[in-house]
Structure 1
């Protein structure tokens, strides 16, 4: 283990419960409300503003990006977050948040979670799923586009989405025979330095394992995988090996478990216990300070499955064309046909309470549940977003 990672992890373990997590544990105003601190690592601004209160979230990271669908030479589609699409989408998102000050507090620093909680609002932190939005014509000496995004509220930047770009390797990159485990590029190293300097959170979701490992080594601040799953449970390119999970934890960061059930279990019928199994695995290999909750669906849930009353057999059909196109490229894990999309109990606006209750049933102690349900996200956001 690199020395700087060992030092950071020892610091986290030494300070975790007593100092880094203490603000949400001892704040008397919060305790008086008797409402748990719930933080979702990735969702979206809902169309119905009432969903925010109904979700019981104290804070969430919101993907506010927009995409351009780009057909690749092999016939598959990559969804890139271009500068033009994302600068418009972030301004639109900011206008929505500003128009609802009784519901939202736009997260600028980690302390805004406490401010939102105390005022019975929800802190929302803007994220973009892919650094394609920082385009090649942006000067890497002054990072004009990155500065513009930050000025409009961007606080979390994911390096890539599925496929590699000039900064990073993607989880689904493939040469037709074997998976490509592409590293962080020289431009990626410059981007990591720029993000650290601007106190922005680095997200390695959708990155190749080598890119994630390189990023953990290069970053001077904690990094996260905002939404993902465990490869030792589901052997799939979109799921992360244990060494990546440990490397993220060694930076002081967190690994968010998301709700896409075909990457959570190969069991034919997914249940909430499969979700808890993912959490338990991360705790066992990297510690309770390293795991958190994510979604990757709207706050209310995967909308098409909700319309189908969570009929997975019918709902999974919308994913099969994409799944088969990647099977044809021999991408790891796509040889197994998906049987489901959601865990029905969690495809619901009240998922956070349900996860919390299930953790209690699984005999996670109260202080550990507090970390998993929101404290770990709060700690990282407070440490990075200053």
Structure 2
């Protein structure tokens, strides 16, 4: 059973600040709304074509720079380990790419770098690793939150967002797809995970619970002294799937002062046969209703231009979904929640496009969201969290 005893104090504070701001028409506008609206993507990748950065219109994005090792588990399914050796190499390569293209990129090290990048007509890039496997070696030697050698080294190289796990659990956290062969498990944050949360807070690294089990996410929200995020995910209200988050998790993230980024993988956004941009807006509306206006954010989880194979197929979902079916079937055989329903699509065609941020912005306006809400959703909430955590 999910333990939902998280601390509501931080959300109460956010609400109080919002109420106080109504006393002045000028104060009701957050500082980031005074200039042109920010566009921030919660998860993508450094593109091979630098032209994609300009075309995306992004002021900032969180870039997964992970390098993975593919492992076959005992039950025959695949898992992916982000080892330290692989990730330290990949983060140095990513830093070199950003440094070599100063007319396009600014490496994001603090939350204020978004404003700096925007002023210089550049795009701030914040490095993320999708899984804490890269610091598992630290557990054997750690005796304080400050003594995490591998974590410190990665931070020095530019790591600013760390996801606790990717699909499956590790020494720190339960994974969304963990399973005992008969039912989905909801594994908690481990004792080592609590140590990791303390270390991430100490290093001012943003904690990402994407791919975590619901209980791990709730435990993390309670344990962290800083806001936590789900950089990319979806609400379980619309798709009853292990990879989607129940309302308790969305609410806990909002209560922590964090954000929930809704991503572009349509089989986790809607069960309809033909997904549309309206389905994406419904997800944002639900995050707003459950987590609050300061919780809503945009994410991608594909390359900046979109899911490449679907683009090559002119967004023909009936053909593109085939590449996912073997993996899907392997999880269905393990009885993981939601995999009993075969997916019919991968992308929302209107959003599998380099100009998705403008299209989402326009759709929010059509749905009659206030301009100040759109400011928050499209980038302001991400900027606030990054400024809060990345000191």
TM range (shorter): over 0.9
For 2:196 and 2:331, locate their aligned partners in 1 and report how far apart those are by CA, in whole Å.
Answer: 29
Q: Distance in 2 between matches of 1:39 and 1:214?
A: 27
SS in 1 for 2:43: strand
- Structure 2 residue aligned with 1:24: 32
Give the length in aligned residue pairs: 379
Residue 286 of structure 1 deviates from its aligned partner by: 1.8
> What CA deviation, in whole Å up to 9, does each residue of 1:55-83 have, x standing for no partner?
00010000001100000011100011111
Does 2:378 match 1:377?
no
**Counterpart selection for 2:302 from 291, 297, 302:** 297
**Aligned residue number for residue 348 of structure 1:** 353
Q: TM-score, normalised by structure 2?
A: 0.94
Quote the residue 2:161 is aligned against.
Answer: 156
How many Å apart are 1:20 and its aligned residue? 11
User: RMSD over aligned Cα, in angstroms?
Assistant: 1.6
- Per the alignment, residue 330 of structure 1 pairs with 335
TM-score, normalising length from structure 1?
Answer: 0.96
Q: Which residue of 1 is the match for residue 209 of structure 2?
A: 204
- Quote the offset at 1:84 in angstroms: 1.0
- 1:80 is matched with 81
Q: CA deviation at 1:144?
A: 0.4
Question: Given that residues 172 and 189 in structure 2 are in contact (C-alpha distance below 8 angstroms), is that contact kept between their aligned partners in structure 1?
Answer: yes
- CA distance in 2: counterparts of 1:253 and 1:218, whole angstroms: 14
Q: Name the residue aligned to 1:124.
A: 125
Partner Cα separation in structure 1 for residue 18 and residue 382 of structure 2 = 12
Using the alignment, how far apart are the partners of 1:152 and 1:20 within structure 2?
A: 38
Structure 2 residue runs of 5 or longer lacking an equivalent are: 22-26
Q: 1:307 to 1:177 in 2, by over 3 A?
A: same
Question: How do 1:74-153 and structure 2 match up within 5 A?
Answer: 74-136=75-137, 139-141=141-143, 142-153=147-158
Change (3 A) 1:103 1:189: same
Provide the residue aligned with 2:275 in structure 1.
Answer: 270
**3-state DSSP class of the match of 2:161?**
strand
Equivalent residue, structure 2, for 1:41:
42
Aligned to 2:24: none
* Deviation larger for 78-87 or 11-20: 11-20
Q: Deviations over 1:169-222 (max 9, x none)?
A: 000000000111000000000000000011110000000000000000000000
Which residue of structure 2 aligns with residue 256 of structure 1?
Answer: 261
**8 Å contact kept, 1:300–1:349:** yes
Q: Is the 8 A contact 1:21 1:376 kept in 2?
A: no
- The question of whether the paired residues in 2 share the 8 Å contact of 1:21 and 1:375 is answered with no
**1:159-308 superposed matches below 5 A:** 159-308=164-313
Distance in 2 (CA, whole Å) between partners of 1:36 and 1:288 is 16
1:55–1:299 contact (8 Å) kept in structure 2: yes
2: CA distance between counterparts of 1:295 and 1:185? 29
Shift of 1:266: 0.5
- Secondary structure of the 1:231 match is coil
Distance 1:182 1:3 in 2: 16
The answer for the alignment partner of 1:357 in structure 2 is: 362
Q: Is the 8 A contact 1:20 1:379 kept in 2?
A: no
Distance 1:157 1:292, change over 3 A: same
1:238-294 Cα offsets, whole Å, 9 max, x none, are: 000000000000000010000000000000000000000100111111211111000
> Which stretches of structure 1, 4 residues or more, deviate above 6 A after TM superposition?
1-4
- Decide which of 7, 16, 20 is 2:9's aligned counterpart: 7
Which residue is 2:55 aligned to? Answer: 54
Any conservation in 2 of the 1:167–1:185 contact (CA below 8 Å)?
A: yes
Structure 2 distance, partners of 1:282, 1:137, is: 35
